[in-house]
């Protein structure tokens, strides 16, 4: 079962995000990711297949007060870094638990030319 965490604080949330995801590891997952709005305003996304600990080193230098994190249990698309959540563009980062049953219909209706993942979740990014 996937895990989702969102944090908004007066101090850096990087460590808390990693700790929260680690706490939810018992639920089971196959890939992991974090999106952080850095103090510079830049939306930074880190994703990978495997464990939360795989993100640890890359996250230590990042600083931000708003972030979201996800441990994914893949239902649509391989459990790899591309399909891991957050699924993001320059301004929006989406994480989602469960299945969007009608994602194929929505994909067709949206008419997006270039999809970045194999997930059902990505349709949420293009509304
Ligand atoms: N259906 C989504 C996916 O495969 C979310 C899976 C989950 O709940 O972790 O990316």
Tens of pLDDT, residue by residue over 11-55, are 999 999 999 999 999 999 999 999 999 999 999 999 999 899 999
Cis before 86 (ω within 30): yes
Q: How far is the CA of 10 from the centre of ligand 1 (A)?
A: 30
- From CA 95, how far away is CA 122, in angstroms rounded? 9
- Contact criterion met (CB below 8 Å) for 37 and 10: no
Ligand 1: list residues with CB < 6 Å. 2, 72-77, 96-99, 119-121
- From CA 115, how far away is CA 100, in angstroms rounded? 16
Is the confidence at residue 64, as pLDDT, over 90?
A: yes
Query: Which atom of ligand 1 is least distant from the CA of 100?
Result: 1
- Contact criterion met (CB below 8 Å) for 81 and 119: no
To the nearest whole number, what is the mean pLDDT of the chain?
95
- Contact criterion met (CB below 8 Å) for 32 and 54: yes
The pTM assigned to this predicted structure is 0.95
Residue 49's SS3 state is strand
Mutate which of 32, 81, 85 for ligand 1? The one with the most ligand atoms within 8 Å of its CB, which is: 85
Residue 70 pLDDT grade (very low, low, confident, very high; cuts 50, 70, 90): very high
Query: Which atom of ligand 1 is least distant from the CA of 77?
Result: 4
So what's the pLDDT on residue 17?
A: 96
Query: Which atom of ligand 1 is least distant from the CA of 2?
Result: 9
Residue predicted with more confidence, 127 or 31 = 31
Mean pLDDT of the 70-77 span: 98
């Amino acid at each position: 079962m996937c895990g989702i965490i969102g944090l908004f604080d007066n101090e850096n949330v990087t460590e808390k995000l990693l700790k929260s995801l680690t706490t939810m590891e018992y639920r089971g997952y196959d890939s992991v990711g974090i999106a952080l709005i850095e103090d510079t305003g830049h939306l930074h996304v880190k994703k990978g297949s495997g464990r939360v600990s795989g993100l640890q080193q890359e996250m230590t230098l990042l600083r931000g007060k708003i972030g979201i994190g996800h441990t994914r249990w893949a239902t649509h698309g391989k459990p790899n870094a591309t399909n891991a959540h957050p699924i993001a563009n320059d301004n929006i980062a989406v994480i989602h638990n469960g299945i969007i049953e009608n994602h194929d219909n929505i994909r067709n209706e949206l008419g997006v030319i270039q999809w970045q993942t194999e997930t059902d979740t990505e349709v949420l990014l293009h509304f």
